[in-house]
Amino acid sequence: MADAARALSDEAEVVPVSLGDRSYEILIGRGLLEQSGARAKALGARKVGVVTDENVAAAHLPRVMESLTAAGLDASAVVVPAGESSKSLDRLATVVDGLLAARIERKDLVLALGGGVVGDLAGFAASVLRRGVRCLQAPTSLLAQVDSSVGGKTGVNSRHGKNLIGAFHQPSLVLADADALDTLPEREFRAGYAEVAKYGLIDDPAFFARLERNWRQVFAGGPERTNAIAASCRAKAAVVARDEHEHGDRALLNLGHTFGHALEADVRYDGARLVHGEGVAIGMAMAFRFSAALGLAPEEDAARVGAHLATVGLPTSPKAIPGGVSDAATLLGHMRQDKKVEGGKLTFILARGVGKSFVARDVDAEKVLAFLESELA
Amino acid sequence: MADAARALSDEAEVVPVSLGDRSYEILIGRGLLEQSGARAKALGARKVGVVTDENVAAAHLPRVMESLTAAGLDASAVVVPAGESSKSLDRLATVVDGLLAARIERKDLVLALGGGVVGDLAGFAASVLRRGVRCLQAPTSLLAQVDSSVGGKTGVNSRHGKNLIGAFHQPSLVLADADALDTLPEREFRAGYAEVAKYGLIDDPAFFARLERNWRQVFAGGPERTNAIAASCRAKAAVVARDEHEHGDRALLNLGHTFGHALEADVRYDGARLVHGEGVAIGMAMAFRFSAALGLAPEEDAARVGAHLATVGLPTSPKAIPGGVSDAATLLGHMRQDKKVEGGKLTFILARGVGKSFVARDVDAEKVLAFLESELA
Concatenate the DSSP letters of all residues of A81-123 into one string: -SSGGGSSHHHHHHHHHHHHHTT--TTSEEEEEESHHHHHHHH
* Partner B contacted by A220 (CB < 8 A): no
Q: Provide the 3-class DSSP secondary structure of residue A219.
A: helix
pLDDT < 50 stretches in chain A: 1-9
Cα(B107)–Cα(A247) distance, integer angstroms: 11
Interface contact B166-A128, CB threshold 8 A: yes
- Residues of A catalogued as catalytic: 131, 153, 195, 236, 246, 250, 254, 257, 261, 276
CA-atom Rg of chain B in angstroms: 20
User: What fold, for B3-183?
Assistant: Rossmann fold (3.40.50)
CA dist B25 and B269 (Å) reads: 31
Q: Do domains A3-183 and A186-376 have the same CATH topology?
A: no
HSE (CB half, 13 Å, CA atoms) of B200? 22
Q: Do B341 and A158 count as a contact with CB atoms less than 8 A apart?
A: no
3-state secondary structure of A241: helix
Q: Is B167 on the interface with A (CB under 8 A)?
A: yes
Domain ranges of chain A: 3-183, 186-376
ipTM for the assembly: 0.87
As a dihedral over the C-alpha atoms of residue B97, residue B99, residue B102, residue B103, rounded to 10 degrees, the angle is -100
Each residue's pLDDT expressed in tens, for chain B with a length of 377 residues: 444 444 444 578 999 999 998 999 999 999 999 999 999 999 999 999 999 999 999 999 999 999 999 999 999 999 999 988 899 999 999 999 999 999 999 999 999 999 999 999 999 999 999 999 999 999 999 999 999 898 999 999 999 888 999 999 999 999 999 999 998 999 999 999 999 999 999 999 999 999 999 999 999 988 899 999 999 999 999 999 988 888 888 889 999 999 999 999 899 888 899 999 999 999 999 999 999 999 999 999 999 999 999 999 999 999 999 999 999 999 998 888 665 555 556 889 999 999 999 999 889 889 999 999 999 99
Handedness of CA A272, A273, A276, A282 (dihedral sign): positive
- Residues of chain B contacting residue A341, judged by C-beta atoms under 8 Å apart: 105
CA–CA gap between residue A140 and residue A51 (Å, rounded): 12
| End-to-end CA, chain A | 56
Report d(CA A341, CA A352) in Å as an integer.
22
Residue A168 φ then ψ, to 5°? -90, 115
Q: Where are the alpha helices (DSSP H) in chain A?
A: 3-8, 36-42, 54-70, 89-101, 116-128, 142-143, 186-203, 205-220, 223-242, 257-266, 276-293, 299-311, 328-337, 365-376
Contact A103 B168 (CB under 8 A): no
Q: CB distance from A22 to chain B under 8 Å?
A: no
Tell me whether residue A247 is annotated as binding.
no
CA dihedral A298, A347, A261, A117 (to 10 degrees): 110
Q: Are A106 and B159 in contact (CB < 8 Å)?
A: no
Q: Distance between CA A346 and CA B127 in Å, rounded?
A: 23
Q: Are B17 and B150 in contact (CB under 8 A)?
A: yes
Which residue among B190, B225, B236, B334 is the active-site one? B236
Question: Residue B35's closest CA among B186, B224, B175?
Answer: B175
d(CA A82, CA B363): 43
DSSP strand pairing (A346-351 vs A153-158): unpaired
Is B6 one of the annotated active-site residues of the chain? no
B247 touches A: beta carbon within 8 Å:
no
CB proximity A274 to B under 8 Å: no
| Closest A-chain CA to B106 | A342
Residue A105: which region, alpha, beta or left (left: phi > 0; alpha: psi -120 to 50)?
beta
In 10 A of CB B23, how many CB atoms?
A: 12
Please state, in angstroms and rounded to a whole number, the distance separating the CA atoms of residues A272 and A114: 19
Is B261 labeled as catalytic in the residue annotation?
yes
Burial annotation A206-217 (CB, 10 A radius, 16+ → b, else e)? ebbebbbeebee
Find chain B residues with C-beta within 8 A of A47's C-beta. none
Nearest by Cα to B120 from B177, B78, B183, B171: B171
Compute the nearest-CA separation of A93 from chain B (Å): 7
CA–CA distance, A33 with A39 (Å, rounded to integer): 10
CA distance A142 to B268: 45
Tell me A250's DSSP state: G
Element of type H or E holding A9: none
CB atoms B101 and A160 under 8 Å:
yes
Return the residue of B nearest to A74 by Cα. B343
Residues in B touching A101 (Cβ below 8 Å): 160
What per-residue string of b and e applies to B305-339 under the rule 16 or more CB within 10 Å gives b? bbebbeebebbbebebbeeebbebeebbebbebbb
Q: B101 contacts in A (CB within 8 Å)?
A: 160
Q: Do residues A302 and A290 touch, judged by C-beta distance below 8 A?
A: no
Residues composing chain B: 377
Catalytic site residue B198?
Answer: no
Give which of A112, A193, A187 is closest to A146, Cα–Cα. A193
Interface of A with B in 140-159 (CB under 8 A): 153, 155, 158-159
Beta-carbon-side half-sphere exposure of residue B133 (alpha carbons within 13 Å)? 35
| Candidates A129, A166, A343; nearest CB to B128 | A166
Which strands sit side by side in the sheet containing B13-17, from one edge to the other?
Answer: B13-17, B24-29, B173-177, B134-139, B109-114, B47-53, B74-80
Terminal Cα distance for chain B, rounded: 56
Q: A132: number of CA atoms within 13 Å, CB side? A: 20
What is the C-alpha to C-alpha distance for residues A334 and A165, in angstroms, rounded to an integer? 16
Please confirm, yes or no, whether B257 is among the known catalytic residues: yes
Q: Which CATH superfamily is domain B186-376 in?
A: Dehydroquinate synthase-like - alpha domain (1.20.1090.10)
Report the residue of chain A nearest B99, measured CA to CA: A160
In 3D space, the residue among B139, B77, B134 whose CA is nearest the CA of residue B105 turns out to be B134
CA dihedral defined by B188, B191, B196, B201, rounded to 10 degrees?
A: 180
Query: Which 3-state string (H, E, C) describes chain B?
Result: CCHHHHHHHHHCEEEEECCHHHCEEEEEECCCHHHHHHHHHHCCCCEEEEEEEHHHHHHHHHHHHHHHHHCCCEEEEEEECCCHHHCCHHHHHHHHHHHHHCCCCCCCEEEEEECHHHHHHHHHHHHHECCCCEEEEEECCHHHHHHHCCCCEEEEEECCEEEEEEEECCCCEEEEEHHHHHHCCHHHHHHHHHHHHHHHHHHCHHHHHHHHHHHHHHHHCCHHHHHHHHHHHHHHHHHHHHCCCCCCHHHHHHCCHHHHHHHHHHCCCCCCCCCHHHHHHHHHHHHHHHHHHCCCCCHHHHHHHHHHHHHCCCCCCHHHCCCCCCCHHHHHHHHHHCCCCECCEEEEEEECCCCCEEEEEEECHHHHHHHHHHHHC
A-B contacts (CB, under 8 Å)? 99
B168 touches chain A (CB under 8 A): yes
What pLDDT, on a 0 to 100 scale, did the predictor assign at position A25?
Answer: 96
B124: nearest CA partner in chain A = A128
Answer yes or no: B130 catalytic.
no
Looking at the complex, report in whole angstroms how far the Cα of residue A292 sits from the nearest Cα belonging to chain B: 30
Taking only Cα atoms into account, the Rg of chain A, rounded to an integer number of angstroms, comes to 20
Q: Does residue B257 contact residue B280 with C-beta atoms inside 8 Å?
A: yes
Rounded distance between C-alpha atoms, residue A238 and residue B150, angstroms: 35
Which amino acid, A92?
L
DSSP state of A319: G
